[in-house]
Homo-oligomer: A and B are copies of this chain.
């Protein structure tokens, strides 16, 4: 089944202890689509300025990302410049130029409105809500968010929670949103606002999936080198929602597998800049890494003696 993603399409300039990249593909919608399209067809909605190197998106189109919802308007594209020092968990934003993204009003093309899976990337919750008004009752709606919206659009975000099945956010965001230090309590608070699934990402420390019935935890893959952490969260979401869309199965067993597919895609994303590693990746490599995750956590309980 198809996933519709709405989010940012940006040009990132990133410096890490291992190198630097200038004006490479970035933004939540691009990174999500790069991961998800390895598993299932993707429809992308976003906005770019007249300066965007559209030809660089061609590999995404080739892999099944429908770019009919990519609006091109006069002006500058969204640009983000950041630096990571040795603590790769912390991005130091050097410059954010929203450009045409500051006036983004998502318009869902008619042929996208029946998408059974919808991912609302990290944009203003009012726009996320506006997307929901445009689509026909999807099977699963997931949203992401960030500290900026939790601070500036809290009421809108809480209103949105009543309308989504799932939210993905990191541990600091979960604590900020719920004002609860304990993640179990934070997840319960969020579920009480509406979402049936709460995914709390802890970066290099793995990810939790909370439901009313159970908790699942997937570690991060113990990589020998993290080259550029940008987009790990969106790639995780792309792998996760992409796997659910591919299989169309929302059973607990399949949701758990989907979290691991998300973790696998997130682990590949950080091996190179931008979406480079994701775009050269094969499904066989992903399945192999999922198998490695299984070995990483596998243990048998003792035989009764």
Contact = CB atoms under 8 A, between A and B. Distances in A.
A253 B294 contact: no
A94 interface: no
Interface residues of A, number: 39
B222 A215 contact: yes
Contacts of A257: 299-302
Contact of A291 (B86, B185, B301): B301
A185 B224 contact: yes
Given A206-B205, A295-B214, A300 B222 contact: no
Given A217-B219, A222-B215, A300 B202 contact: no
Interface string A269-305: 0000000000000000001001100111111111000
Interface string A187-228: 000000000000000100110100000111111001111100
A82 interface: no
Interface of A: 86, 181-185, 202, 205-206, 208, 214-219, 222-226, 247, 253, 256-257, 259-260, 287, 290-291, 294-302
Contacts of A298: 216, 256
Contacts of A218: 297, 299
Contact of A224 (B184, B226, B253): B184
20 contacts: A182-B224, A185-B224, A202-B205, A205-B205, A205-B206, A206-B206, A214-B295, A217-B219, A217-B222, A217-B296, A218-B297, A253-B299, A257-B302, A259-B299, A260-B299, A287-B301, A287-B302, A290-B301, A290-B302, A294-B301
A299 B86 CA distance: 33
Contacts of A290: 301-302
Given A218-B299, A294-B301, 6 more contacts: A182-B226, A184-B223, A202-B205, A215-B222, A217-B297, A257-B299
A208 B214 CA distance: 24
B222 A208 contact: yes
Residue among A184, A219, A291 with the highest chain B CB neighbour number at 10 A:
A219
B253 A300 contact: yes
Contacts of A260: 299
A298 B302 CA distance: 16
A253 B300 CA distance: 7
